[in-house]
Amino acid sequence: MKHYPHLFSPIKIGRLTLKNRICVSPMTITGRGEEKGYFAQDNIDFYTTLARGGAALLTIGETGIHSRTDACHPRMAHLDDPGLLPSLTRLVDGVHQYDTFVSIELVHSGRRAHPAYLPDNGEVWGPSPSVNHYGAKVKEMTEEMMNEIADAYAEAAFMAKFAGVDMVMIHGGHGWLLDQFLSPLNNKRTDEYGGVWKTVPGSLLWFWIE
């Protein structure tokens, strides 16, 4: 490991001190069998095994923040569903016993939401009106709708903290809602939320939870 002399050295991120520089990237593995959209025991065991292996930080992938307008696959977990809390808490507790921190990736699919996985009162929202690749009508977001989603991100972070999660990752890449606002391919608006922006594919923002 002479090329990576600091790999096993501690590092401080905000108020957290990680025991090494090994972080597990987000993966979406929620919901097996009857536990649709929640963390089944094999999911919990998977993350616990990674923690036991020595990683300092694990990130739970693709966790939704607004169930009514966002679901891109049938087993997507959502932090606005209180039913997620018991299994998420068990996962976090399992990882923490190995001195490993937990992050969770907060995401909204925007115009890429799949109508088949939305509730009866669900809608597909995006920066501009269109029809998505599933054939669903995309409703252009008003400022009020934007504020609702912004609040949903904050409430999701609170729910994550309540379950014991140490950090949140805001997913701003891969064509999800935040990236859609940054891309002229999806954002055709002519108001203050439009225009051509520069973005880095796969953009991510990490925050520790105070």
Q: With cut-offs at 50, 70 and 90, classify the pLDDT of residue 210.
A: low
* Local confidence band at 154 (pLDDT 50, 70, 90 cut-offs): very high
Q: What is the pLDDT of residue 53?
A: 97
Q: What is the pLDDT of residue 2?
A: 77
- Res. 203: pLDDT tops 90: no
Q: Would you state the pLDDT for residue 33?
A: 42
* pTM of the model as a whole: 0.89
Report pLDDT digits (tens) over 70-98. 998 888 899 999 999 999 999 999 999 99
SS3 93: helix
Place of tokens 């805001």: 170
Pairwise CA distance, residues 31 & 28, whole Å: 9
The pLDDT assigned to 200 comes to: 47
DSSP string, 102-164: EEEEEE--GGG--GGGS-TT--EEESS-EE-TTSPEEEEPPHHHHHHHHHHHHHHHHHHHHTT
pLDDT of residue 209: 54
Q: Has residue 35 got a pLDDT over 60?
A: no
* Sequence-separated (6 or more) residues with CB below 8 Å from residue 197: 181, 182, 183, 184, 187
Q: What is the pLDDT of residues 98-128, one digit of tens each?
A: 999 999 999 999 999 999 999 999 999 999 9
Domain regions of the chain by residue span? 11-106+141-171+195-208
Three-point CA angle 41, 85, 149, nearest 5°: 125
Question: Does residue 182 or residue 207 have the better pLDDT?
Answer: 182
Q: Kindly indicate whether the domain formed by 11-106+141-171+195-208 is annotated with CATH number 3.20.20.70.
A: yes
**pLDDT reading at 22 higher than 90:** yes
Query: Is residue 45 classed as helix, strand or coil in its secondary structure?
Result: helix
* Rounded CA separation 210/196 (Å): 34
Position 29 scores a pLDDT of 65
**What type of residue sits at position 195?**
G
pLDDT recorded at residue 34: 47
* Complete edge-to-edge strand list for the sheet that includes strand 124-126: 124-126, 137-140, 130-131
Phi-psi label, residue 20: left if phi above 0, alpha if psi -120 to 50, beta otherwise: beta
Q: Which residues pair with 16 in a beta bridge?
A: 13
What is the C-alpha separation between 92 and 60, in angstroms, rounded? Answer: 10
Burial (CB count within 10 angstroms: exposed 0-12, middle 13-18, buried 19+), residue 66: buried
Say what the pLDDT of residue 31 is: 55
Q: At what angle do helices 85-96 and 41-52 cross, to 10 degrees?
A: 20
pLDDT of residue 78: 94
Confidence of residue 199 (pLDDT cuts 50, 70, 90): very low
Q: And the tokens for 62?
A: 């693709």
Task: Work out the average pLDDT over 153-161.
Answer: 97
